[in-house]
Structure formats: structure tokens, C-alpha cells
Homo-oligomer: A and B are copies of this chain.
Amino acid sequence: MSTERLIYLPLGGAGEIGMNAYVYGYGKPGKERLIVVDLGVTFPDMDTTPGVDLIMPDITWLRERKDQIEGVFITHAHEDHIGAVSHLYGELEAPIYARAFTANLCRRKMEERGHPVDAVTTVSAWPEVTKLGPFTIGVAPMSHSIPESGALVIDTAAGRVVHTGDFKLDPNPLVGEPFDPDMWAEIAKDGVQALVCDSTNVFSPNPGRSESELPDEITKLVAGCSGLVAATTFASNVARVKTLADAGERAGRSVVLLGRAMNRMIEAAKETGVLTDFPRTYSAEEAGDIPRDNLMLITTGSQGERRAATAQLARGKYRGLELKDGDTFLFSSKTIPGNERGVIYIMNQLSEKGVDVVDDRGGLYHVSGHANGPDLERLHDIIKPKMMIPMHGEHRHLRQHAKLATAKGMASAVVVNGMLMDLTGDAPKVADYVETGRQYLDGSVRIGALDGIIRDRIRMALNGHIVVTVILDEDDEPLGEPWCDVRGLPELGKSNAALVDILEEDLNQFLMRAGAKTLRDDDKLEDNLRRITRQTTRDEIGKKPEVSVIVSRMR
């Protein structure tokens, strides 16, 4: 009979940045009791997921083991860690655990989707622990770009695992707890079986910088501005929002928070006591009565999101506020790869209005929330784990991080989504490969990444769409002529006649000549009509369109 084992299985977040979802298990093979760490989303883009609303991990494996799940722990409230919780709750129905600020935001999400808010339990920070089945789990404070980020300290009979969540080594994060090397040394002192560790910034060669390096520069910048000042950052970066607000207040400006997420985050931070001395804020309506030179707007949309406050201000008025020549707009943020075009578009719209755009100026007005290469090594040195498993990174990050660990004598492995690892021994061992993937929230429906629906959308976008309709009478003879609906394609082709006319003529020619055998056979008829449509379109306009053929028989 097989013995108990400790397993680790990433379902999202390992081999990508985003959509974090990790599973730990302890027990006899196949009978493990499970805990889930984070259930995040990732965001769609036009290139690969047009029209999709959200991307979530495929949790089929978990759903099939629903009864084995002890609970879901959320390390922090960034969307790539918390975003799928309420969407997937109905399938897992497992209790959710998080620290107060994260739990507050999680309950809001649960409520929005009609799930019970008391499924969310607030836990206190380490050294308090939660016992669930074979697990004893503590949430130990880690500094990050959001309050109350927590690393999990997971104890089982197979030893201690530290799952870092997202972190940086910030001695003074301004809001929330600093990184505490003594606490971590204490946690690690009896040995750590496995450190499962954030890899995002592994390629950054210098030690990371503290949030506390920014207020002086930001205050100086805002103090030197005339006109209206606006600034954007991630709403969840409560410390940064506070720094911006403080800078505004110090410059004698009234602070206005714009955007739903911005207001919700600050509200949650105040409600949970994370944020105590935030400047008085004014509503957009109140701002109308304040001279614009005395305003400091703090807005959502630092990544160029089209519906966020920043994009709306760049386009024109937003809630009665408008930017003008001589105003200043600060991007206190870094652009996430892939969002450059959207952000640059907004910067140019602002430039057209005469607004001076200030970006992070190579770090003067922004610091990262993740540990850099040397910081990762410092944590390795404090924790001294038997094995180090890199997570929260693309393949190249995981690979580099694993190299780093191996070079220092730790066991390590590049573990990507779907690799079920046995962490019980001296080194991580692959125990199984689990089918994983992505599912999409599309409107109100969940679809699979491989359902072909998105592929069809992409093809229509690249090639246009032609629908050919043919009606046949009771004797399988064409009833009238075929007709085409052409969408997303040029009207005129090389014959200088309407493409649709040429298509209909070619299709009609074919139908008139087609034998009874072809006309009777749906598949044959459709294949021929499709082939002719593609060929004629290619001749006329040099493109091979997507073609739907509808054969309707009057029987």
C-alpha cells in the first residue's frame, strides 16, 4: 500500500504571468486532501481572445475532486489571484480564507454574483494558523504592491512548505507590513521542505526599491505643477494612492478619486483599518466648484483600459471634469507588456489637449511590487529550503529562477501548469501530468479555449465572412438564384463589379450545370459552393474568406 505524500499542482500561473491557481495536497495517492491557493483571472486581448470578458483556469481536475478540497486561500487581492473566486465558487463550494483586506474585497465579489458572503473567513496573520484536515496553514505578511499580501506557511506531516504569493523585500512599504527577515528566519529555523516562489522579476539584476523612495519625488513634482494635476496608478496599490493623495494635499489641492475600482479599494482599506490617515476626498460633483488649479485627480486606467477614468479623461469630459492645456498627467505605473499601444494612445490624446504627460521616468515615480533577482536570492538564503519551486512567471522566468536555485545547491525544477509534483522526498518529482488549460467567460457563458468559437471569430476578423444561401425545391432543383451575404470584405474586386454580384453569378452558373447527384447531396453541394466562393473571392480581391453555406430544401 502506498504511503502518504505531499503534492503540488499549478493549474494556472506557472508558465505565464496571470491566472494564478495552485493546489497542494497531502494524503495517499489519489486520496489527498487538497487546498487551493488563489483563483485568479487573466485578461483577454484582441490577438488571441477577441470578445472574451475574462480568462480563468480550467478547473476540471479540481471539480472532479470537489470533496477532497478543504479550502481556498487567497494570498492577496490582485485580480490575477482573486478574480476567479466568485466565478468558480459555484463549482467548488469550498470555504475561502484570506486576511481582512483581501476578505473584504472577496466578499464584495461574492455578493455581486449572489454567493454567500459567509463562505469567506477572515484569518489573522502569522503566527495564527488555521487547521484544515492534514494541513496547518498560516498566512505570513509579505510586502507587495497591495496591502496584506500573505505568504502561506503550510505544514503537513511531510514538512513545511512556504508559498510566497507575490512579494518584494520592502523595509518600508508605507501601507501594510514591512518585510520581516527575523520572522522568516524564525519560520524557517526548523527546516523548510519546499519554497514555492514568485519569479516575476528574476531577470532584474539590481535589488528592488522601496515604496518609500517615491513620496519625496512625487511631492516635488506635484508641488511644481500649475493647472490641474491628475495621476493614475493601480487602484489596488493603496500605498501609492496615498502617496499621490498626500502629495496633492501638501500642494493645497483637493483630492478626487475617479473610477469605481479606486473608490472601492480605498473604501475597503479604510473599512479594514489598513488605511488610517488618508486625506479628505471630494466627489467629481464637488470638484466642479473648486478652481481647477486646486485639484488633484487620482484615476483608474493606468494600463490604458478603454472604459477607465484615464481613457475617458483623455477622450473628453469625465463626470464633468476636463483636462486642458497646461495640466499635468502622471503615470505612476509601469506598462504591462502588451498594453503599450493602449497606453501610448492615451498619452498622445492627452498631448493633443496640451497636457504634459509624465511617465515613471525610469523609476522616479514608480517601483515594482516584485522581488528582483538579488532579492530572490536573499529570500532563498533566509528560508534555506530543501527544494525551491519557481512559480508566478513565464517559462523563461521559471527556468532562470530554477537555475539560480540549482546553482546554490537547492533542488529545483521548472514546473508548469498541469505538472503534478511529489514534494515528499529530497527533490521534486513529477508524479503525473494533469490536463489543464483556460476557460473563457464570454458574455454570460463559460466556453473552453479549444471550443473553436474564438478561432472562428479570429478567422472572420482576418478573412471576412460570406454566407451563401441556396434553396432547392421538392425535386432538388434550385428555387431562384443563390445569394450571398458578404461582411468585412471590400465591395469591389478586380473586375470592378460588386463582389457579391460576381459571386452570385458564379454560384448560379454552377447550380445550373450541376447534376442531380450533386444537387441531392448536401455535403457535395456545400463543398462545391464553398470552394467556388473561396476561389472567386480569391481571384477578385486576393483573400480567402470564411464561408458558411446554407442549403435549404423545400420538402
Contact = CB atoms under 8 A, between A and B. Distances in A.
A494 B444 contact: yes
A456 B395 contact: no
B554 A479 contact: yes
Interface string A216-231: 0000000000000000
A357 B550 contact: no
A352 interface: yes
Contacts of A485: 467, 548, 550
B394 A344 contact: yes
A461 interface: yes
Interface string A1-20: 00000000000000100000
A338 interface: yes
A396 B454 CA distance: 36
State how many copies of this chain the complex holds: 2
Nearest to A359: B203
A378 interface: no
A543 B453 CA distance: 13
B396 A351 contact: yes
A541 B440 CA distance: 13
Nearest to A17: B344
Contacts of A462: 50-51, 457
Interface residues of A, number: 61
Interface string A251-294: 00000000000000000000000000000000000000000000
Interface in A97-152: none
Contacts of A184: none
Contacts of A382: none
Given A396-B357, A467-B548, A542 B341 contact: no
A271 B376 CA distance: 52
25 contacts: A45-B47, A47-B341, A50-B462, A51-B462, A337-B340, A338-B340, A340-B340, A344-B394, A348-B394, A351-B394, A351-B399, A357-B396, A444-B542, A444-B543, A445-B490, A445-B492, A445-B541, A451-B490, A456-B487, A457-B488, A460-B465, A460-B487, A467-B467, A469-B469, A479-B554
Given A51-B488, A348-B396, A483-B550, 10 more contacts: A51-B543, A337-B340, A444-B494, A445-B492, A445-B494, A451-B490, A456-B487, A465-B487, A467-B467, A480-B554
